[in-house]
Amino acid sequence: MIRRTMRGERGSAVIELAILGSLIFGVLIHVILVFGALHRATLATSAAAREYGRAIVVSYSEADAAQRGDAAVELAGRNHGLAPGALHASLAGIRHRGAVLIVRVRTEVPVANIPFLGSVLPQLTVPVEATHAVRIDRYRSGA
């Protein structure tokens, strides 16, 4: 058996493995970071919706409810490491005794975000939304 090897092909498998392995490892790390950001946004939106609902229920007026609700949403976003203004809350329903109000909190998570460089494609985002229903007490005065 005659062994023929070409001088230009010697060691190329190691180089291919190093290059492709680095690329695949980089993509895998990026996917893990995106799933972490999605999980953080999910926790932040659900906490913000819950706290916004609680702030609405204990408020005595519409203005007080709006102020407390916005503060609760900003605090929940900050506690979960989101940028200021990243969470957007909305309220469905009329605030009166015995009413059920639906709170929705929404945010957008960038998918093509490279650490230390920023967002590569800012329009490529995943929406994350949480909904929470609260009931105002039937005997609550000032509602």
The answer as to whether 110 is a domain residue is yes
The answer as to whether 112 is a domain residue is yes
Name the pLDDT band for 16 (thresholds 50, 70, 90): confident
Residue with tokens 């809350």: 89
The answer as to whether 142 is a domain residue is no
- What residue numbers bound the domain in which 125 lies? 13-135
Q: How far is CA 93 from CA 46, 103, 111, 117, in A?
A: 19, 9, 33, 42
The answer as to whether 8 is a domain residue is no
What is the reported pLDDT for 112?
79
Q: Tell me if 89 sits within 8 A of 70, measured CB to CB.
A: yes
The answer as to whether 4 is a domain residue is no
Each residue of 101-110: pLDDT tens digit? 999 999 999 8
The answer as to whether 20 is a domain residue is yes
Q: How many domains does the chain have?
A: 1
Each residue of 81-119: pLDDT tens digit? 999 999 999 999 888 888 899 999 999 998 877 767 777
Question: Percent of the chain scored above 90 by pLDDT?
Answer: 52
The answer as to whether 141 is a domain residue is no
Q: Tell me if 125 sits within 8 A of 109, measured CB to CB.
A: yes
The answer as to whether 140 is a domain residue is no
What is the reported pLDDT for 138?
85
